[in-house]
Structure 1
Amino acid sequence: MSECPAAPPAGETLDPTSGSAGRARLTAVSSLGGPPGRAGEGSQGLAPAAPLMRSQTRSFDGCGGLSRLDKDDDPDRGAGLYEAVVFQDTSQLTELGWLERVEMIARLEARLAGLKAEAVTGFDDEMHGVSADLGHRHPEPGDRQAAPGERRWHGGELRSVSDEIGLALNLHRSAATRRIHSSWELVHNFPATQHALIEGVLTERAAFTLVAELSVLSNLDDLRAAEAAVLDWARRHPLQGIKQFARAEAARRDPAATDKAHDRAHNERSVRMVSTDFGTAELIHTQDAVDAAAVMTSLSRAAIRSRRNGDPRSLDQLRADIALARLLPRSRHTPTPSSSSTATPSTRTPTAPASPTTAPARTRPSAPTPSPAPTGPAPASAPTPSPAPTGPAPASAPTSAPAPAPAPAPAPAPAPAPAPAPALAPPPAPAFDAGDEDGCEWTETETGADAVIVIHASGAELAALLTGQVGTGGQVEAHGPIPQGSLRKHLVKAISRTMLPDLPHADAPYAGTPGSRIELRVTDQEPPGDPNRYTPSAATDRYVRWRDQVCQFPGCNRPAEYTDLDHRVAFAAGGRTTAANLHCLCRHHHRLKHEGNWQIHHNPDGTYSWTSPTGRRYRGPDEPHKATDP
């Protein structure tokens, strides 16, 4: 991602014995007959080492033998193994040789992961300064030192360690912050674990798992003892069980550690979307395990009931569709007599004659017998509903319901139930039971913001869609490209719900009247505006947000709806208020541009690059949607 190759000057030779043993081996590839100039590209201060010649690697052909170079406490830190792997002739390897090669590459990855954690921590330590996340814009006397990964004031500039590490590792800023924190913990608080990682005893995942599970121990002696016990276990067992063993070890030494770890994990609960393939995405909801299990059980019950009623979809498809219908906001929908007569007889008919005082068949032991009115459909005796009852009741009208009241007086034991009972609506179910089994009665009003899905498409793409030509699709905000078939489906859905609101929608059988709206925006025509005015017009503001969709800092995906509009070339420096000179920046990266010495450069191909305070250049995002011929 970086555009700043920093190859050492031609002809410069460094002493093979200088520096540490590990560094003395990393740039020896160019001396072994590899591509010239590649060894030192993008690196500084790395010394070449005495090479392992290619002829020596022939002894590792055939059945392998690479494991002989994987030594404990190797002073070269795996440099000899790396060279042997790079120059091994794989044309004659047997299955044993290939398997050994895979294992040795994994050991090298572990060694590099340990060195990477060391480098990440070294950069964070080098960028020392006071925290910039204390609620005031500029540093003040008495401010504390910045925590690992935190924004800070360094050399009079606002610096974001997580942004610079994230761009170097191709990580989002939040993921880079977590990586910095875990690397700092590994290097400073778990030196034995870091040594085991560099030696290839642990994998990167196992090492960071150990750090995460044992970092809840506050006593240093307990921490060191637990770390030694887990590392000893790791040398004798498969690493797949290291998480459970480390967690048990922490709980044994500090019984409160489990609660502390649970609270920490619960405080990090979130909902996030991860784009996948072909116009789909994963919605990841991190929640308490018991609550998540309850949600999964509820979805499975509803899916199984639908399958029993003849729904052809698989259980996974049903769970996904039911969850989507429950999450999207819905307006109140009262079933009509025709719809209730076809949807409810096999699912909501009580198994025993119901009366106003009879509890539902499925109730929690701790739940009170009378359920409150707002949790389910209104009772038949309520004055607000329409005169027509929910179920088919041609024999008894609602106005005659009070008449049978004196009838129970002669009969002290109400053993025989009245015949008109099936004509009444079933008693309201408890809140936890709503939609648990059939998913056909989710008609309660949902609170929350209206869900708006925005699809960006060019005029050429819409023309291809309307004329039946094959073309590209569009762009969904916060997701990315979708194929033409998906654009057609959602365009038809938006038009039908806007112009034909009473048309039943087969795509939402569980949601009644869905509360989500789909907007289609054509974003390849710039509106007119006044370039000599500092504040953009409403049309220009809207167009730039539609065009950019997200913050334009490299790697940031903050939606444009929550960003600031910034002049690429400052208005005071001659920049004009045009769509070409405006872009969206989230507040964090807007401050970083003006107070952190980040520079923007226009590239010949129309894109932009950002230069960090360290001088490294990173390419910004391409224009999210360009008009293309179908």
Structure 2
Amino acid sequence: LAALVDELAAVRAEIAALHAREAIAYARALELVLSRVEERRLLEPDRPDSDLVVRSVSAEIGAALRISDRSVQRRFGEAGALVDHYPRVLDALQGGRIDRGHATAIVEAGMSVSCDSRGVYEARALEVAECESVPRTRAAVATLAAAIDPESAQTALSRARRDRRVRVYDLPDGMARVLADLPAPLAYAIADRLTGVSHAVIEARRSAPDVVPAPGAETECVPDDRTIDEVRADVLADLLLTGTPTGHGDPESLSGITGRVQVTVPVLTLAGVSEQPAVLAGYGSVDAGIVRALAARAPGWDRVLTDACSGLPVGVDRYRPSAEQRRYLAARDEHCRFPGCRMPAHRCDIDHTIDAAHGGPTDCRNLAHFCERHHVMKHHTAWTVRQLPGGILEWTSPLGRRYEDRPPPTVRFVPSGDPPPS
């Protein structure tokens, strides 16, 4: 197994190097296109249809590679930005230290970063990409970009919010798909509420006695064996069409289940003084205005005190304290702490790193959030974990390989100035 892991890692590095080579080739093709556009503009100033040059070259490349010319044009833009503006990211891709997904995430999030701040953003984003999975990198670099250039990020968020809409697509076999583009906090809250109501429906179904048809009944009672996805879809239709989850048990009890999201927002942003980004756990940077509206209706907020240099939470409190350790861990972890996993903390278990049965203390330095999948793996396989200073978890695989998982707040933290003197 160890040899196979090494082989896969080597193949991955080779593929990453080929992706870098491909990006360089696309960037060179883009240079050719731009030079031809300029030549045509000089030779035929009365014919500004430079788009025909782009279409022609894109069609030529697309035909040879058996992809659409629009895909070629999109790759022109991605490759040009990577090669021209992110040389260190390109070097990391060539060296196999990151994947193409990492590079794409950095380039896309960096579109809102000004030229003056691009170097700082690239260096910090690359630190994240070289030790995190692509989904975690995508969420972290989006927040980094928003923190480095909050004004541009807020403009992009406001522009995107104006594009919210609902669409219906026909599917075969009498089905159709409803897609809704919504602000992320609302979408995550909707999904969480649907899941909560659906779990309540399924639990009620399991605890209910078997239904026996009444004597002389014309129809036979069909047992409810729907999956969680089927129940979620049915509850969504109920809520949209009737306002309550009718037909799924007691509407009063189910309607009391609300959507739950975890949002971290700087206090000055909450006060409306700053536009520093708010962060939705499991997603990334979100619109500050929506978060302020949520805060106005929330029954309570945790105050998270962070280290000025590292960004790591050092304490959590509330005017009416309750479950302080849980609030602290939720602020620190945000999601499952196995490398690459992004299951939100409120759907995870809080686990003792050193089992309480073996003397492990119920202390935040011995606790962390794990989803059910990785919680079971920790206890029933050869994987082990230990906590290092700063909330870092060091996982050791059955092959003896070590992988560090850093708390999300430290991954996306951007210092506001020079660190204080030691």
Give TM-score scaled by structure 2 length. Answer: 0.42
Larger radius of gyration: 1
Q: Whose helix fraction is larger, Structure 1's or Structure 2's?
A: 2
